[in-house]
Chain A
Amino acid sequence: MTTIVLRLGATLLMLGVAPAVLGLVTRTRALLTGRRGAPVLQGYADLAKLLRKGAVFSEVTTPAFQVSALIYLVTTVVAAGLVPFDGRAALTGFPGDLLLFAGLLAAGRYALVVAALDTGSSFEGMGASREVMLGSLVEPALFLCLMVPMLASGQLSLAGMLGSELARVWTLEAPALVMSGVCLFVLLIAESGRVPIDDPATHLELTMIHEVMVLDHGGLDLGLIQYAGAVKFTMLATLLLGVVEPRGAMAPGVALAAGIAGLALVAMAVGVVEAVMGRLRLNRVPQLLVATAMLATVAVILVLH
């Protein structure tokens, strides 16, 4: 019973800190580009404001648009139950739950893409089209990356493959795992729509990917989408941490603290990348993602050897 409560606590903590993690990314970027930037906790205030607002709906939209943000939020939150935030155990899990995790994220994407097409806007159609293009490259690469800890640890569940078994063999398989971590970092940037693949701070619709897809969502729905995006970022960053910083052998409290510290580091690293790089041209993005998948393939071959 206590273990369940503890695991539930860890999952809730992950859901709670998510906006702050994104806040840290933006703050790092601002500081490095010579601005002061918004406080790290600004995300919570924005969220509170958006959740209190009314909304304007497009005349063209159907009920599919009304439920899209909810589906995105719920699938993301349910997926969070499979992620080991403390690096030891998730709320639930079973051998092969990786497909459920990816399937839930894909279901959320499906809802947002369909909602974008529901508006009949060519901007949003364009964003949705780019989103599915990125998705078709990210998803296989994500599986290849997570194959590495799976094969190294011999565990088929998400929490298991990042748990104590991995900590035991980590030094043996370090090269492959580090390569997988590097790839996961690129995928994290791609999935959360950050520079150099997408830029959440851009102001021109034609250059956006994720943001333009949700152009017609406003108020409550926009708040939910932004929050779910933050949770998605935190989950993927947690998986990345699990691969490069195995915490399965640490004491529970230490593992949790190390996890939060690691999360902050990942967020700052993303912020640094945002500060020092410009956006890639859209036709270069597939090259980056395919290269990532190739690197992940090499990592899988290393660990299979």
Chain B
Amino acid sequence: MATVSKVFKEDSGVREKLPTGIVVAALFAALVGLLTLAVVNVYSDVNGAFATAITLNTGIGPYSGKELFWLGGWFLSWVVLHFALRKKQLNLRSWFGTWLIGMAVATLLMYPPVFEFIADALKGG
């Protein structure tokens, strides 16, 4: 069966129209948002007053403020990164590898035994 890789030649011409900075900006904005969520989550475990302060809805508690920080960090950083990188040709392979490592860290930081361990260490427990 014919495949696209046989039908179409590998060609990076698309990067001339749309630089890879756009890709890096989109990927890293998502990562910034998720790391912001992780940091806010740990800090709300450490500081009860902060957890209360970010409770925007009593029904869902501090989770409401955590989501606001997540979305705010994500979309604000996307705007900033997009305008900073949109005309740059970046090494996609190395930036993508860095992003994957960042995603692994963000995922680990959301695992309760990990973030509770960090929060306890910061509290001195």
> Do the two chains bind?
no
Residues of A in contact with B (beta carbons under 8 Å apart): none
